[in-house]
Amino acid sequence: MLSFINEHLQLIYLIVLMVFVGIELIGHVPSVLHTPLMSGANAIHGVVIIGSIIVMGEATHTISLVLGFLAVVLGTLNVVGGFVVTDRMLEMFKKKK
Amino acid sequence: MTLQITLQIIYLIASITFILGLKFLGNPSTARKGNLIAAFGMGIAIFGTIFLYTDANGHHLKNLPLIFGGLAVGTVIGWLAAKKVQMTAMPEMVSLFNGMGGACAMLISIIEFQHIQSTFAEPMTIAALLMPGASAALKGRLLIILLGMIIGSISFSGSMIAYGKLSGKVKDKSFGFQQFINIGLLAVILAFTWMAIMGESNQEFWFYLVLALSLLYGILFVMPIGGADMPVVISLLNSFTGVAAAFGGFLYDNKVMLVGGILVGSAGTLLTIVMCKAMNRSLLNVLIGNFGGGGKAAAASSSAGFEGTIKEVNASDTAILMKYAKKVIIVPGYGLAVAQAQHVVHELETLLESEGVEVKYAIHPVAGRMPGHMNVLLAESNVSYDKLVEMEEINPEFATTDVVLVVGANDVVNPAAKTDPSSPIYGMPILDVEAAAHVIVNKRSMKAGYAGIENELFYKPKTSMLFGDAKKALNQLVSEIKALG
């Protein structure tokens, strides 16, 4: 356990700091923006796709290839769909003249 | 080596874009830019990984055609789905995409587990495992894989149920002691996780059992929560997927996954709490409160107690009332979204303004199916941003208002939230429409709102009901006002 913590100390620091950054960022957001914000955050956790790309790039067995391919597709859906939907929502907030 | 460092720098830049993106998303004037910045960061992180990633032995990634194939398929489907979806269906779309991310994290864990299993089978690695410390490292890795899978699959199945509920395909369901069953299930999942990691044999069996139970837990977790609370649940599941992504970051020692995942995990959790506060309820209350289910039974018995009668009004009388009013406040709700009446409500607004009537919109924090849902919808039909007034600001204005037009909203104007402690929405702040001289409520029928409770407001002497589909009724109203000349 201790060796595990020692080995990953950098990552643990990063986690702790990011928790606080995340909380600070959302501190005082008007409720109008809750939905786009949720949707934008939804797109950002699509970063999980990087894991699926690595897994796919190292896969050799057929099963892992199939599952990996599926993971890449689903991850891309999360990223692309997430950002596009958010942009569509925010498009409507632009100043009308 | 330089490739590795270049990739790390790209990850660093991507991490910064995520932080900036979230920051900008919190302000209406910079929100769109923020989204684009984060999307840019995501793009370079993805392509950087594909071309620059090397494993411990310096090998580049294989299977590039398949990776690009997957990216292409996902992009086309995701793009089309996001572009085609109706503004009213946005919430369920977000839930759907969230589920995809959860499923992605789940699949990564499954593949990594199989990978560990197959290396286990080789005699070479068994020798390596006998080295001191190696077994502990492997167990640590297994733990991360399992936790990522559990959270990913809960997020996946939960989001699918939330999607189904919002699109009306899945009904609220709860059974006795469900909360205890859920907690018990969670304990069982954790126990089996321990078996999968520490157990000497049958690890595979325990692993897939944990996978199945986690999926089941996601379903049972969301099933009893009322439809009106779905935004909160989606926001919570959103932060779950963030945490699942962060476990992936831990697994691959990948900083950008960790930063992105944890940011969303913590920001999402806070956003969830902020949303609950907007409804004046605690997160715990939302999760175990059985908002939709339990309330219905209680409502049926209390509805009979209302005094007064329902008064119906037709479009032409409403038209006269509104045309000669000084100030009109429109309260939009989910009914407006369902009827796609956002354009005609804007038409009504401009028409009244040209007659010299002051028109404002009162936006309840949870009007519609998601916070901000009404703003997005009305902005789509060019309603000016400063006409949308939030609850705290508009509440004192009702007293000086001649006519309040409630369009497809119900629970957010229900006085029971203030007066009836037994009501499931008791304590939720509401719009004080009663303070106005006249209240016109447009609804399709007398059916209860999403919380499943009757609304005493409809029985008040000040209130008149304008029955009908929001779009049709408002269209009629517009033509009646025009006819008045």
Which residue is associated with the tokens 């596009």? A84
The topology (CATH level 3) of B307-483 is Rossmann fold (3.40.50)
For residue B138, list chain A residues with Cβ-Cβ distance below 8 A.
Answer: none
For residue B50, list chain A residues with Cβ-Cβ distance below 8 A.
Answer: 53, 57
For the segment A30-48, the average pLDDT, to the nearest whole number, is: 88
Cβ neighbours of residue B54 closer than 8 Å, sequence gap 6 or more: B3, B4, B60
Question: What does residue B225 show for φ and ψ, rounded to 5 degrees?
Answer: -80, 130
pLDDT value of residue B131? 58
Closest partner residue to B45 (CB to CB) among A42, A50, A81 is A50
Tell me if residue B402 is catalytic. Answer: no
pLDDT value of residue A85? 93
Total number of domains in chain A: 1
Better-scored residue on pLDDT, B22 or A1: B22
Nearest CA in chain A to B391: A31
Break chain B into its structural domains and give their ranges: 1-84, 90-289, 307-483
Nearest CA in chain B to A23: B267
- Which residue, among B25, B142, B388, would best test binding to A if mutated, counting the most A CBs under 10 Å from its CB? B25
* C-alpha distance from B217 to closest chain A C-alpha (Å): 21
Closest partner residue to A67 (CB to CB) among B107, B278, B370 is B107
A76 located within any domain: yes
pLDDT value of residue B295? 40
Q: What string of H, E and C letters represents the secondary structure of chain B?
A: CHHHHHHHHHHHHHHHHHHHHHHHHCCCCCHHHHHHHHHHHHHHHHHHHHHHCECCCCCECCCHHHHHHHHHHHHHHHHHHHHHCCHHHHHHHHHHHHHHHHHHHHHHHHHHHHHHHHHHHCHHHHHHHCCCCHHHHHHHHHHHHHHHHHHHHHHHHHHHHHHHHHCCCCCCCCCCCHHHHHHHHHHHHHHHHHHHHHCCCCHHHHHHHHHHHHHHHHHHHHCCCCHHHHHHHHHHHHHHHHHHHHHHHHHCCCHHHHHHHHHHHHHHHHHHHHHHHHCCCCHHHHHHCCHHHHHHHHHHHHHHHCCCCCCECCHHHHHHHHHCCCEEEEEECHHHHHCCCHHHHHHHHHHHHHCCCEEEEEECCCCCCCCCHHHHHHHHCCCCHHHEEEHHHHHHHHHHCCEEEEECCCHHHCCHHHHCCCCCCCCCCCCCHHHCCEEEEEECCCCCCCCCCCCHHHHCCCEEEEECCHHHHHHHHHHHHHHCC
Question: What does residue B420 show for φ and ψ, rounded to 5 degrees?
Answer: -110, 100
> Residue A63 sits in which domain range?
2-91
Choosing from B172, B229, B411, B432, the catalytic residue is B411
Q: Taking CB atoms and an 8 Å limit, are B78 and A64 in contact across chains?
A: no
Nearest CA in chain A to B85: A85
* C-alpha distance from A89 to closest chain B C-alpha (Å): 6
* Strand order, beta sheet including B388-390: B388-390, B358-363, B327-332, B403-407, B438-443, B463-467
Q: Taking CB atoms and an 8 Å limit, are A75 and B74 in contact across chains?
A: yes
A97 located within any domain: no
Q: Which residues of A58-86 are buried (b: 16+ CB within 10 A; e: fewer)?
A: bbeeeebbebbbbbbbbbbbbbbbbbbbb
Token output for B477:
């109203």
For residue A39, list chain B residues with Cβ-Cβ distance below 8 A.
Answer: 90, 94
- Strands B403-407 and B388-390, how do they pair? unpaired
Quote the pTM value: 0.78
CA A90 to chain centroid, in Å, comes to 19
Q: Taking CB atoms and an 8 Å limit, are B262 and A19 in contact across chains?
A: yes
DSSP H or E stretch at residue A40: helix A34-44
Closest partner residue to B18 (CB to CB) among A35, A44, A78 is A44
Nearest CA in chain B to A76: B74
Q: Does B32 touch chain A (CB under 8 A)?
A: yes
* C-alpha distance from A49 to closest chain B C-alpha (Å): 7
* Contacts with A, B 267-296, CB within 8 Å: 267-268, 270-271, 274-275, 278
For residue A93, list chain B residues with Cβ-Cβ distance below 8 A.
Answer: 28, 31-32, 375-376, 379, 385
What ipTM describes this predicted complex? Answer: 0.94
Which residue is associated with the tokens 């009007």? B367
Q: Does B126 touch chain A (CB under 8 A)?
A: no
Question: What does residue B154 show for φ and ψ, rounded to 5 degrees?
Answer: -60, -45
Q: To the nearest 5 percent, what fractions of chain A are helix, strand and coil? A: 85, 0, 15
Contact B233, B172 (CB under 8 A): no
Q: Taking CB atoms and an 8 Å limit, are B274 and A26 in contact across chains?
A: yes
A-B C-beta contacts closer than 8 Å: 381
- Which residue, among B263, B361, B428, would best test binding to A if mutated, counting the most A CBs under 10 Å from its CB? B263
Average confidence (pLDDT) per 10 residues, chain B, 485 residues:
90 96 88 94 96 88 93 96 84 92 96 85 55 72 93 96 86 74 91 86 89 95 80 92 95 93 94 81 71 40 56 86 90 84 90 90 80 78 85 89 90 84 77 89 76 79 87 90 83
Q: Taking CB atoms and an 8 Å limit, are B107 and A94 in contact across chains?
A: no
pLDDT value of residue B23? 92
Rounded CA-CA distance A89/A84 in Å is 9
